[in-house]
């Protein structure tokens, strides 16, 4: 049920002229609910008016959109980053800064600045569910970069006009005259760059320190860039920014171990870095000359990241080298993603007795054959991590009904488990049923991606090489059975699904506020 305040706010933001006349008389505390109403109803003109007159120094988008005290009872809500709304917010900040630059050049005193920080982090960007109305990380990065460049160009034009005006009037330039304008707005944002957007982001970052709109990166994701370009962008990011860079995610870069060791000196400048993701980097210790020396060098670089809590080396071939990689780290990791890393039993046994195991909150071992020689080391590792583990991914691990029957009691010891990913393991309906009934008592468990049972695939001819297709009738029937069990057990707070499109595994850096998203 909506509160009367929210209902009135929706009415007010639906009429821009009425809102413009009313804003001078609106108490500051009501701006937040007006903003939420305008964003929910996609009233872009109203959003522009609200941002132009924003009475607070901070506009933190996600905090405005999530918890809504005007719903009874209060609830956490999820709003996608609507393209038109996001553009309206950014462009209204740009227009405000442009007007202030003109006023400054013409000698008019700028109004007292209110907005100083625009925080656009934590927007819900599910890449598997993108649509034309959602502004995802890549176009958001491009839009902000272009805005920074335009404003910096406008600042240079206004500075040149100001110098010309002073020269014509005979007014000397004041002492300490700088290339900076009268005010600026900091934008904290997660940046996503690839070869297509590299040039535009590079240009924006080159003028970032003195432009009216200044980007401060929280999470930095780079895809398919060369070593030279990756280094160039890292050099342009400020390692002592008041808004700390917390994650670097470099993927599909084909750098290899040697390239990563060349890159690491530029990464370790960010001493507050909490998460380092380097999946699909073409690291292969089997084919690398002097692999042990290379791993030791890489490990020594990691040791110089004192705040590091998450490491992702997915699709690297680390066979028998996990100890060489992790043993020197001064503090335990809390998230370790080692999907498709060709690990051996000795690697899992090392991890079971390492300093990391009792602190692990997230573990991803997808893509390993956990059914045979890795099964016992995996069970030992899981038991050792059971007191801290919140998220476990074991997708495509060849787990059978027999393996699951051995695994399930150990999973039951993971009392704080919130997420379990078992997608694409060869199990039967009976295996999933047994898993479901054995895990119902885990009170913190909220999301399970279960493997679609073998009975839910179409029958294929013996010895057929074709990939079996899904039988939609059997799939819907079994899903209905699963949902009925959850209802009978009063566990409708838990989501069980075989569909990875509607539900994605959570990120380590969003552990505390994370809940499964409504379908």
Per residue in 270-305, pLDDT (tens digit) is 999 999 999 999 999 887 778 889 999 999 999 999
- pLDDT for residue 68: 59
- pLDDT for residue 79: 60
Closest CA to 64 of 52, 49, 81, 87: 81
In this model, does residue 131 exceed pLDDT 70?
no
In this model, does residue 253 exceed pLDDT 80?
yes
Beta bridge partners of 495: 447
pLDDT digits (tens, 9 = 90+) for 28-80: 999 999 999 999 999 999 999 999 999 999 999 988 887 556 554 444 445 66
Lowest mean pLDDT among 29-43, 107-121, 327-341, 349-363: 107-121
Q: Phi then psi for 25, rounded to 5 degrees? A: -110, 0
Closest CA to 389 of 410, 371, 373: 410
Task: In whole angstroms, give the CA distance from residue 350 to residue 358.
Answer: 13
H-helix or E-strand containing 220? strand 213-223
With pLDDT > 90 as the criterion, what percentage of the chain qualifies? 66
Residue 130 pLDDT grade (very low, low, confident, very high; cuts 50, 70, 90): low
Is the model more confident about 461 or about 95? 95
| C-alpha distances out from residue 277 to 282, 316, 400, Å | 13, 12, 30
pLDDT digits (tens, 9 = 90+) for 138-183: 899 999 999 999 998 888 877 767 666 666 676 665 544 455 556 7
First to last CA, the chain: 21
Mean pLDDT score, 363-375? 96
β-strand pairing of 67-68 with 75-76: antiparallel
- pLDDT for residue 128: 47
In this model, does residue 475 exceed pLDDT 50?
yes
H-helix or E-strand containing 96? helix 83-105
Half-sphere CA count of 517, side-chain side, radius 13 A = 17
Is the model more confident about 174 or about 378? 378
User: Which residues touch 83 (CB under 8 Å, ≥6 apart)?
Assistant: 132, 133, 134, 135, 139
Is the model more confident about 69 or about 398? 398
Which residue matches tokens 């995996």?
A: 378
Task: In whole angstroms, give the CA distance from residue 275 to residue 219.
Answer: 9
Task: In whole angstroms, give the CA distance from residue 151 to residue 139.
Answer: 18
- The size of the chain, in residues, is 519
Task: In whole angstroms, give the CA distance from residue 185 to residue 89.
Answer: 13
In this model, does residue 113 exceed pLDDT 50?
yes
Task: In whole angstroms, give the CA distance from residue 394 to residue 410.
Answer: 14
Three-class secondary structure of residue 275 per DSSP: strand
Task: In whole angstroms, give the CA distance from residue 367 to residue 425.
Answer: 10
Q: What is the 3-state secondary structure (H, E, C) of 328-375?
A: CCCCCCCEEECCCCCCCHHHHHHHHCCCCHHHCCEEECCCCCCCCCCH
In this model, does residue 235 exceed pLDDT 90?
yes
H-helix or E-strand containing 219? strand 213-223
In this model, does residue 254 exceed pLDDT 80?
yes
- pLDDT for residue 466: 63
- Residue ranges of the alpha helices (H) in 120-226? 137-169, 198-206
């Amino acid at each position: 049920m909506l509160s009367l305040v929210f209902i009135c706010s929706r009415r007010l933001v639906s009429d821009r002229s009425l809102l413009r006349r009313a804003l001078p008389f609106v108490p500051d505390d009501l701006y937040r609910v007006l903003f939420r109403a305008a964003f929910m109803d996609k009233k872009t003109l109203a959003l522009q008016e609200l941002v132009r007159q924003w009475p607070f120094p901070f506009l933190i988008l996600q905090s405005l959109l999530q918890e809504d005290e005007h719903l009874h009872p209060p609830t956490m809500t999820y709003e996608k980053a609507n393209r038109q709304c996001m553009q309206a917010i950014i462009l209204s900040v740009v227009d405000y800064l442009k007007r202030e630059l003109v006023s400054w050049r013409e000698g008019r005193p700028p109004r007292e600045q209110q907005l100083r920080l625009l925080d656009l982090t934590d927007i819900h960007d599910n890449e598997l569910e993108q649509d034309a109305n959602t502004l995802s990380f890549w176009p958001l990065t491009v839009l902000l970069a272009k805005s920074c460049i335009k404003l910096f160009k406008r600042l240079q034009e206004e500075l040149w006009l100001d110098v010309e005006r002073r020269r014509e009037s005979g007014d000397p330039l004041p002492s300490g005259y700088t290339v900076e304008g009268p005010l600026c707005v900091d934008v904290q944002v997660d940046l996503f760059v690839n070869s297509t957007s590299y040039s535009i982001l590079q240009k924006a970052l080159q003028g970032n320190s003195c432009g009216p709109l200044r980007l401060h990166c929280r999470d930095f994701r780079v895809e398919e860039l060369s070593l030279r370009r990756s280094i160039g962008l890292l050099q342009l990011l400020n390692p002592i920014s008041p808004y700390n860079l917390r994650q670097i995610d470099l993927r599909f870069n084909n750098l290899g171990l040697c390239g990563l060791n060349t890159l690491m000196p530029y990464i370790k400048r960010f001493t507050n870095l909490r998460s380092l993701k380097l999946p699909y980097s073409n690291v292969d210790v089997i084919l690398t000359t002097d692999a042990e020396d290379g791993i030791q060098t890489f490990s020594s670089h990691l040791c110089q990241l004192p705040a590091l809590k998450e490491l992702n080396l997915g699709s690297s071939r680390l066979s028998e080298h996990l100890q060489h990689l992790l043993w020197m780290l001064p503090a335990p990791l809390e998230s370790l993603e080692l999907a498709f890393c060709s690990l051996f039993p000795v690697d899992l046994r090392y991890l079971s007795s390492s300093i990391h195991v009792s602190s692990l909150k997230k573990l991803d071992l997808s893509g390993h054959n956990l059914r045979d020689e890795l099964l016992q080391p995996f069970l030992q590792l899981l038991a050792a991590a059971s007191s801290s583990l919140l998220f476990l991914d074991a997708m495509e691990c060849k787990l059978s009904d027999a393996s699951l029957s051995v695994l399930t009691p150990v999973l039951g010891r993971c009392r704080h488990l919130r997420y379990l990913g078992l997608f694409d393991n060869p199990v039967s309906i009976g295996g999933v049923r047994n898993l479901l009934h054995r895990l119902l008592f885990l009170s913190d468990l909220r999301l399970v991606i279960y493997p679609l049972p073998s009975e839910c695939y179409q029958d294929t001819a013996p010895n057929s090489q074709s990939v079996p297709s899904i039988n939609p009738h059997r799939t819907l029937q079994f899903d209905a059975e699963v949902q009925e069990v959850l209802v009978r057990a009063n566990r409708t707070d838990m989501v069980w699904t075989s569909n990875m499109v509607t539900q994605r595994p959570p990120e380590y850096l969003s552990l505390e506020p994370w809940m499964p998203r409504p379908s």
